[in-house]
Structure 1
Amino acid sequence: MAPAAAHYFRRLSRRLTQDIDELDAEEISQQADVLGAKRASECCRGEEVTMVGRLRSVEACPKTANASVIAELFDGSEAVKLVWIGRRRIPGIEPGRSLLVRGRIGERDGGKVIYNPYYELQSAS
């Protein structure tokens, strides 16, 4: 068998047998490398960062006086909460969407958070 064919079948069998979450994390990590983004697991509180990831969940709190949109961004290494204060809804911010975000890492309830991040919607790939 030719080396190229062997390599193809090795990659194919890996993709068929590997966990979907692991494959997703690997794909997101590769995208972060291409865009020069930092991984959440490497970020420290107070640091200004650029990250790339996929939204796992989005929650809007429009009925309260402190309206906010809270989303969980997973970058292949760790999840970070994104909180937009004073927003009731943000078009395009929905579960499964890929984003590039910039902001300062903070801490909330023992986890990492970015308040009012700058964001760019990424095209579906």
Structure 2
Amino acid sequence: MGKNSLLQRVIHRLATSDAELESEEMQRAVEAESAVPIRTCEDRQLVRLRGTVSNVTIHPRGGHPALEVELRDGSGAARLVWLGRREIAGIEPGRTLSVEGRVSCRRGERLLYNPRYELLDGPRGV
């Protein structure tokens, strides 16, 4: 590794916001796990995503509970929906997940219904 590339990395880190650096790190993790970047998902595509939970909400659908989770990977966001669930142990903001399922693109939003999931690490700061 030459001095120029080290200097370029230092300048990049100094000139880039923490959010952008975190986004770049998340995108490298997606590539390392051979997951699909969320921004590239197409309607009805079977995908494997990796990202961090940014928020968790419960929304009734047809009179039944539905756990909705926003997953971000640095390239975009996808909404994960588990029908008939109020909670899933371990799924909380800051948690990293790997999910698999069929994506539905609706009004610019990417949705996965009842995806298979794997908890990858503990919540941030633990």
- Provide the TM-score with structure 2 as the length reference: 0.84
**Mapping of residues 1-125 of structure 1, within 5 Å:** 3=2, 7-8=5-6, 10-61=8-59, 65-123=63-121
Gaps of 5+ in 2: none
Give deviations 1:88-116, integer Å, cap 9, x for gaps: 11111101111101000013454110000
CA distance in 2, matches of 1:75, 1:28: 6
CA distance in 2, matches of 1:42, 1:108: 14
Q: Contact between 2:42 and 2:105, CA under 8 Å: does it hold in 1?
A: no
CA RMSD of aligned residues (A): 2.3
1:9, distance to aligned residue in structure 2 (A): 5.2
CA distance in 2, matches of 1:109, 1:94: 26
Gaps of 5+ in 1: none
CA distance in 1, matches of 2:2, 2:108: 49
The percentage of counterpart residues that share the same residue type is 36
Q: Tell me how many residue pairs correspond in the alignment.
A: 122
Give 4+ residue runs of structure 1 displaced > 6 Å after superposition: none
Give deviations 1:42-70, integer Å, cap 9, x for gaps: 111100000111111111247x8311110
